[in-house]
Structure 1
Amino acid sequence: MARYFDVHPQNPQPRAIAQVTELLRQDALIAYPTDSSYALGCRIDSPDGIERIRRIRNLDDKHHFTLVCADFSQFGHLVQLSNSAFRAIKAATPGPYTFILPATSEVPRRLAHPKKKTVGARIPDNNVVRALLAELGEPLLSSTLLMPDDEEPMTDGWQIKEALDHVVDAVLDAGDCGLEPTTVVDWSAGYPEVVRVGAGDPSRFE
């Protein structure tokens, strides 16, 4: 059964954040809130986290997973940035955007797109995620909590626990964080291409 943590959305309880972080260090897969919707997350070097997410969401090996970063310093270690990408992305973060960029050598090969060698990365504007990332001290491997037969992500913590009780290790509930996924901007060709319009204003990249 998944452990359930009810936290304040603006001032998450440090003890709960520490407990969830300890579970992550023990190779846990968690459901947690972001600034766009709930997501599934685990450590980047989790031995089986990525496969567990694939099974839950029924994803193929072409799916872009997202590396969720605490700040731009972490972000820059994971993706290759041109000067123009650096300026534009720095101005738009933190926020509800995911950027697809060439992965650096810091990213395990199994996490990058098999052909393009790209990865999604983002810096969310959400106090619970910020607290979690600060306590963990490293980025999270993440994927929107959108089930195979659903059109929208789940938004209720208890609903998530009931649905995923035996396939995730913990549910971090901070209340409704919205349904709209991130706006996805593919910068892998050297210029921005909006490939999904979501919660972030796409006009700054069009």
Structure 2
Amino acid sequence: MAEFIKIYKENPNPKDVRKVVDIIRNGGLVIYPSDTVYALGCDIKNTRALERVAHLKGIKLDKANFAFVCENLSNLSDYVRQIDTATFKILKRALPGPYTFILPGNNNLPTVFKKKKEVGIRVPDNAIVQAIVRELGNPIISTSIKDEDEVIEYTTDPELIFEKWEHKVDVVVDGGYGGNIPSTVIDLTQGEPLLIREGKGSLEI
């Protein structure tokens, strides 16, 4: 059964953050708050954990398009090929924020993503997930947790999320009520920004 850990986004408790990170480091799956919806994630370097996430989503891992959640833009070059100044300016203006940017991946992508030519990058404006990624030392993946309800696409109440997921994941972070509008997805691999999905992020960037 998963742990349910309350963390306040105004001032994330380092002890609680470390507890979550220890679970992630040991291959655990985490449900965590972002600046959009609650998301499911794990360490991008743990293949077994990635396979578990793909299984929960009902997809094959090599077909999965998981976004990488980074603390900031400083480690972008770890996974992304060199980008031009115009692209970097867009990223700088928009992040941290409710966007997923598709960028050209480089040869340092974890083994399971090696065949991918591109990678989705997220830098959520949420102190809890930023603290988790900072403590872990590398990105976690992000994939939205959908709701089967036809009216509400995303569950916003962490206690209801825990009820549904407690036997499927290892830790659920209660960061307060979440949103129900996902990130705006923009493809920056072709030079001109291409809108893939309109979400919470403004298109005026």
- The answer to whether the 8 A contact 1:97-1:200 is kept is yes
Distance 2:158 2:120 in 1: 25
The answer to whether 1:85 aligns with 2:95 is no
**Paired amino acid for 1:88:** I
Select between 62-71 and 165-174 the one with higher mean Cα deviation: 62-71
Distance 2:148 2:57 in 1: 5
Structure 1 segment 64-103 matched on structure 2, within 5 A: 64-80=65-81, 81-103=83-105
The answer to whether 1:127 aligns with 2:127 is yes
Residue 104 and residue 148 in structure 1: after superposition, are their counterparts in 2 closer, same or farther (change >3 A)?
farther
Q: Report the CA distance between 1:147 and its aligned residue.
A: 4.8
**Runs of 4+ with deviation above 4 angstroms:** 147-151
**Cα RMSD after superposing both structures:** 1.8
Distance 2:111 2:102 in 1: 15
- State how many pairs are aligned: 202
The answer to whether 1:168 aligns with 2:169 is yes
Instruction: Give CA-to-partner distance per residue, 1:102-161, whole Å, 9 cap, x none.
Output: 11122124236x5x5111011111011111112112111221122567661222111111
User: Kindly, what percent of the aligned residue pairs are identical?
Assistant: 38
Question: Which of residues 111, 114, 117 in structure 1 aligns to 2:113?
Answer: 111
Distance 1:170 1:85 in 2: 36
**Equivalent residue, structure 2, for 1:39:** 39
User: How high is the TM-score relative to the length of structure 1?
Assistant: 0.91
- The answer to whether the 8 A contact 2:47-2:112 is kept is no
**Paired amino acid for 1:126:** N
**Paired amino acid for 2:189:** S
Distance 2:159 2:144 in 1: 17
Query: Which stretches in structure 2 are left out of the alignment for 5+ residues?
Result: none
Distance 2:4 2:193 in 1: 39
Q: Report the CA distance between 1:6 and its aligned residue.
A: 1.1
Distance 2:29 2:89 in 1: 33
**Paired amino acid for 2:10:** Q
Distance 2:156 2:96 in 1: 21
- The answer to whether the 8 A contact 1:56-1:147 is kept is no
**Equivalent residue, structure 2, for 1:139:** 139
Distance 2:162 2:108 in 1: 33
Residue 86 and residue 198 in structure 1: after superposition, are their counterparts in 2 closer, same or farther (change >3 A)?
same
